[in-house]
Structures are given as structure tokens and as C-alpha cells.
């Protein structure tokens, strides 16, 4: 019987809170202001999404990491994951009409490709992650990254065309398969590790700190390293485009957080607070959809503004209001998660996904 690692659920809960801050700030705040409280809110950009993808990859590995599966059981698991990938993809495509920065359809792509790797040796996952980043950089030399973008509004102008959809999905969307699937593969690699060995968390934490500090030093001193504008942009670009320094920096931050929450889970995993937070981490899909519908609607009422996904604003909402509302909505989400999971095994949308995918039980 598989034992759930509460530290991973705590990490998911943190990522949910960060997701609330990022998306509430994206719609109502200023993503270009890096001073004061606005700057603090913008620190969450990238890190929450990348942590989510890494944890999703870990989830796939933890779901499939037994050594004694029969051929039929392997086939059934691949079928379940494939069906879940299609569920997320189709849900994301529908949701894109509401939320142009949707990540669910990208998740579906990551998972569908990951099916090919779930029973391969874990070192192949690191090779696949490096290859995904390499493919992205090769595509940069072929297709200008700004193709399809209106950076005045941060909207993708030809998403609903075949060329635009493929370009957005595989190369230059918000979370394109190349290179973002690298986070998923790294998460799958982490899910193969023996986290019951306390030395694993220590090693992952140390590796994360070393890489993070290295990238931080390079980016902080980039202006002294080079005067070349293109190279300077490459070293310091944030999220768009996801160049190698960004990938390494966010991956290392994810390694740090996952390790820290493993330590926290081992220390306080038995407490009521940890169980409440962990229940929230078990309902990421439900909270993703709910905060972008109910959460944005409630915040629009508080801010006295209409919902608009034009990401460039003349009068951003007070960042303090955004932060306080994100905290309030997170507490509300935690309470809902705890009481819901006291009666049901999974969240509402997670239940729907499993109904769609888990036709056969392992």
C-alpha cells in the first residue's frame, strides 16, 4: 500500500497560495512594478507555476513507482495517465476562452508525452529534461519568439489558428511543452527517489541552494559580466522567454522548496494545521479553476473593477488589497478542502477526472 508523503502536499499548498498571488496580481495588479509590495508579489511569478509542474511530475512517478507491475498493470496505468492528460487538455482548451494564460492544456501535453517515459530508468528523465531545453533553444534560432504575441497586451493573437495553436503549445505560449516539460521530467526523476531516506532531502536541498545562488549571482551581476544587450537579456529574462538561466533558477528554487516541505512534513505532519494544508494540496485542480472564476469575481467586486484580461493596466489595484485577498481566499480554500475531504476521497474536479480516466483499478 502506498503511503502519502505529506511534505509533497504541503508543497502543493504553498504553490496554490503562490498561484493565487500571481494570478490575482496578473489580472488586477502590475506585473511590471518591481518596487515595494508590488515587487514582492511579482517575486512569485514563475516559481509557483514551475513548482506545480515539478510536483505534477512527481505525482506521476509516485503513482507508478512499484517494481513488480505486471504487463497488464503497466498498460492500465499508461491508459489512466493518457486519459487524464486528454481530460486536462480538453478542459484547458475550453477554459482558455475564459483564461488566456491557461496551463491545463499544457499539463495535458506534458502528461501525454510522459507516458512514454514512466517505466524507463530514471536517468533517462534527466536526459529528456535537458533535451527539452535544448529543443527550445534550437527553435529560437528558427522562429522568432515574439511571433504571435502582442506584447502591448500580453495576448496571443493567433491562438485559434492551426499554426498559432501549434506554435503556442510547443514553443512560445505561457507554459509551452518545450522547454516546460523539462520541469515535469525533473519532477518525475524526484518522484523516483527514496524520500524515506533523510539524506535524499538534504542532498536535493544542497543542490538546489548551490544552483540557485550561482544563478542569482550571475543575474545580479549580469551588467558587469557583459555589455552585449542580447546576452544581457538572455541572462536576466523572466518567464518570457524561458531561457536556460530562468529554467535553472526556478528549478533550483523548486528543489529547495520541495526539500524544505519534506522536512516540515516530517516535523509537523501529525498536526491539525498540517493536515488542513495537506488537504488543500490534494485539490490543486479544483482550486486552480475556482480561484480563476470565483476568486477573480470576488476580487473584482472588492476592487470595484470589471474583469479584464488585458494585462497592461493604467491604474493597477492596490497591492495590499491583492495580497490580503489572496490570503483570505487561501484560508477559505483550506477550510473547504478540509471539510470536503472529510466526506470524499478527492476534490470535485479531481473526482470528475478520475471518473473519466480510471476505468480500471490497479
pLDDT range class, residue 206, cuts 50, 70, 90: very high
Q: What is the pLDDT of residue 362?
A: 42
pLDDT higher than threshold 50 for residue 283: yes
Q: What is the pLDDT of residue 66?
A: 80
pLDDT higher than threshold 80 for residue 360: no
Q: What is the pLDDT of residue 289?
A: 97
Query: pLDDT tens digits for 34-46?
Result: 788 988 898 888 7
pLDDT higher than threshold 70 for residue 3: no
Q: What is the pLDDT of residue 121?
A: 93
Instruction: Say which range, 18-22, 69-73, 203-207, 312-316, has the weakest mean pLDDT.
Output: 312-316
Query: pLDDT tens digits for 210-235?
Result: 999 999 999 999 999 888 999 999 99
pLDDT higher than threshold 60 for residue 1: no
Q: What is the pLDDT of residue 312?
A: 57
Q: What is the pLDDT of residue 154?
A: 78
Cα 113 from Cα 60, distance rounded (Å): 12
Cα 247 from Cα 244, distance rounded (Å): 5
Measured in degrees and rounded to the nearest 5, phi and psi for residue 268 equal: -120, 15
Domain extents in the chain: 6-357
How far is CA 182 from each of CA 51, 103, 134, 197, 255, rounded to the nearest angstrom? Answer: 12, 15, 10, 25, 14
Q: What is the pLDDT of residue 84?
A: 96
pLDDT higher than threshold 70 for residue 361: no
3-state helix, strand, coil in the chain (%, to 5): 70, 0, 30
pLDDT range class, residue 97, cuts 50, 70, 90: very high
Cα 159 from Cα 156, distance rounded (Å): 6
Which secondary structure element, helix H or strand E, spans residue 342, and what is its range?
none
Q: What is the pLDDT of residue 317?
A: 87
Mean pLDDT in the chain? 92
Residue 226's SS3 state is coil
Q: What is the pLDDT of residue 314?
A: 63
pLDDT higher than threshold 90 for residue 207: yes
Measured in degrees and rounded to the nearest 5, phi and psi for residue 130 equal: -65, -40
Predicted model pTM: 0.94
pLDDT higher than threshold 90 for residue 243: yes
Instruction: Say which range, 116-125, 138-147, 150-159, has the weakest mean pLDDT.
Output: 150-159
**Mean pLDDT of all residues in 307-319:** 71
Choose between 155 and 132: higher pLDDT: 132
pLDDT higher than threshold 90 for residue 334: yes
pLDDT range class, residue 23, cuts 50, 70, 90: very high
Residues counted in the chain: 362
Query: pLDDT tens digits for 156-193?
Result: 999 999 999 999 999 999 999 999 999 999 999 999 99
Q: What is the pLDDT of residue 338?
A: 96
pLDDT range class, residue 311, cuts 50, 70, 90: low
Residue whose C-alpha cell reads 470536503 in the numeric block: 340
The percentage of residues in the chain with a pLDDT greater than 70, rounded to a whole number, is 96
Cα 245 from Cα 356, distance rounded (Å): 38
Amino acid at each position: 500500500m502506498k503511503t502519502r508523503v505529506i511534505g509533497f502536499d504541503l508543497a502543493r499548498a504553498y504553490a496554490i497560495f503562490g498561484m493565487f498571488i500571481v494570478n490575482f496580481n496578473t489580472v488586477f495588479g502590475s506585473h511590471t512594478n518591481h518596487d515595494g509590495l508590488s515587487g514582492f508579489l511579482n517575486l512569485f511569478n514563475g516559481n509557483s507555476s514551475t513548482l506545480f509542474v515539478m510536483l505534477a511530475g512527481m505525482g506521476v512517478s509516485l503513482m507508478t513507482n512499484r517494481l513488480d507491475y505486471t504487463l497488464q498493470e503497466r498498460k492500465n496505468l499508461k491508459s489512466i495517465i493518457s486519459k487524464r492528460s486528454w481530460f486536462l487538455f480538453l478542459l484547458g482548451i475550453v477554459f482558455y476562452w475564459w483564461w488566456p494564460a491557461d496551463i491545463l492544456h499544457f499539463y495535458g501535453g506534458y502528461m501525454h508525452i510522459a507516458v512514454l517515459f514512466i517505466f524507463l530508468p530514471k536517468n533517462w528523465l534527466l536526459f529528456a529534461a535537458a533535451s527539452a531545453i535544448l529543443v527550445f533553444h534550437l527553435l529560437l534560432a528558427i522562429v522568432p519568439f515574439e511571433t504571435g504575441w502582442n506584447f502591448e497586451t500580453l495576448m496571443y493573437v493567433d491562438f485559434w489558428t492551426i499554426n498559432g495553436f501549434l506554435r503556442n503549445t510547443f514553443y512560445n505560449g505561457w507554459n509551452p511543452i518545450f522547454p516546460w516539460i523539462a520541469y515535469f521530467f525533473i519532477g518525475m526523476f524526484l518522484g523516483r527517489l527514496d524520500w524515506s531516506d533523510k539524506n535524499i532531502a538534504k542532498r536535493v536541498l544542497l543542490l538546489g541552494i548551490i544552483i540557485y545562488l550561482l544563478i542569482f549571482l550571475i543575474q545580479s551581476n549580469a551588467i558587469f559580466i557583459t555589455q552585449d544587450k542580447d546576452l544581457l537579456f538572455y541572462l536576466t529574462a523572466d518567464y518570457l522567454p524561458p531561457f536556460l538561466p530562468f529554467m535553472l533558477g526556478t528549478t533550483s528554487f523548486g528543489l529547495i522548496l520541495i526539500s524544505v516541505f519534506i522536512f516540515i512534513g516530517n516535523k509537523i505532519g501529525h498536526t491539525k494545521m498540517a493536515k488542513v494544508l495537506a488537504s488543500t494540496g490534494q485539490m490543486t485542480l479544483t482550486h486552480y479553476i475556482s480561484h480563476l472564476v470565483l476568486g477573480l469575481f470576488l476580487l473584482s467586486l472588492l476592487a470595484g473593477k470589471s474583469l479584464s484580461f488585458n494585462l497592461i493596466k493604467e491604474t493597477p489595484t492596490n497591492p495590499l488589497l491583492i495580497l490580503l485577498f489572496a490570503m483570505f481566499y487561501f484560508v477559505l480554500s483550506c477550510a473547504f478542502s478540509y471539510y470536503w475531504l472529510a466526506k470524499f476521497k478527492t476534490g470535485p474536479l479531481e473526482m470528475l477526472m478520475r471518473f473519466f480516466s480510471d476505468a480500471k483499478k490497479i
